Amino acid sequence: MNILEKITQAKDTFSKSEKKVAEVILANPQTAIHSSIATLANMSDVSEPTVNRFCRRLNTKGFPDFKLHLAQSLANGTPYVNRHVDENDGPEEYTNKIFESTMAALDIARQSVDINTVNRVVDLLTQAKHISFFGLGASASVAHDALNKFFRFNVPVMYFEDIVMQRMSTMNSQVGDVIVLISHTGRTKSLVEIAQIARANDATVVGITAKNSPLGKECNYVLSLDVPEDTDMYMPMASRIAQLTLIDILATGFTLRRGNKFRDNLKRVKESLKDSRFSL
């Protein structure tokens, strides 16, 4: 995690004066890199010792070391972008912010995903007797998309958005079944209970969720996407896009693992749909 992401996530733990420093840096990190400690303190309307204290709160040795980390954050990978949409933003501002923040979040997700776990989950899916995709709220749309992808693979696959149907379905799970539970926070009690029921029935539970969350701890395998997002303030946006991308990755891995004969069958399925569309 780069220093700007650390500031964003730790913002609520700062003192009132430290928050002023954080806001100035997040608003214009390039200016902060080229500022002296006195200039930054003046811009933040705080004292120089406050700036130094702020820097040490982020595990840097002081202001010079902090500026080095800040420069590295801006130089490496996708640049930091301001994700906060202000109430006075016009169409151009909020459109650009949402596109840029989503692209930045996808890059963070790409770097955080565990490839070995992806490979293992693809193995499990290709060998599964039955696959279920469950999510609630915004994650339900991701589970539904997974159904659309895997339904073409000629494998028994199920999706329910209703929690009662999810529970009843899971009660009938058994060895060889794979249940994929999708939740950005991993704190939804109903999904944690679903994972517990599935594990009790010896089904394999895969979580697309936060690794150390209550849900993550109940899963056999966790595909964690480190997407920073304030889900208490806004509906999940960037996390949902990252989850959809991960579903595409799993579907692609499934297709490649099954071999040429399987891919030929998928082509025939696609060809059969041609007559349902108007020609160009």
Contact 178/131 with Cβ under 8 angstroms? yes
pTM of the model: 0.73
CA atoms within 13 A on the CB side of 49: 0
Contact 86/20 with Cβ under 8 angstroms? no
Residue 230 has a pLDDT of 55
SS3 240: helix
DSSP output for 38-94? HHHHHHHTS-HHHHHHHHHHTT-SSHHHHHHHHHHHHHSSSPP---PPPTT--HHHH
Buried b (16+ CB within 10 A) or exposed e, 78-112: ebbbbbeeeeeeeeeeeeebeebbbebbbebbeee
Percent of the chain with pLDDT over 70: 92
Q: Pick the residue with more confidence: 80 or 70? A: 70
CATH code given to domain 3-77: 1.10.10.10
Beta bridge partners of 14: none
Give the H/E segment covering residue 206.
Answer: strand 204-208
Percent of the chain with pLDDT over 90: 55
Asked which of 49-63, 70-84, 255-269 is least confident by mean pLDDT, the reply is 70-84
Residue 170 has a pLDDT of 97
Beta bridge partners of 135: 182
From-to residues of CATH 3.40.50.10490 in the chain: 110-272
Encode pLDDT of 208-266 as tens digits.
999 889 999 999 999 998 776 655 445 557 889 999 999 999 999 999 998 887 777 77
What value does the mean pLDDT take over residues 94-116?
Answer: 81
Averaged confidence pLDDT in the chain: 88
From-to residues of CATH 1.10.10.10 in the chain: 3-77
The answer to whether domain 110-272 has CATH 3.10.129.10 is no
The conformational region for residue 77 under phi > 0 = left, psi -120 to 50 = alpha, else beta, is left
Contact 150/131 with Cβ under 8 angstroms? yes
Residue 78 has a pLDDT of 45
Torsion (CA) 204, 209, 210, 216 in degrees, nearest 10:
-20
Percent helix, strand, coil in the chain (nearest 5)?
A: 60, 10, 30
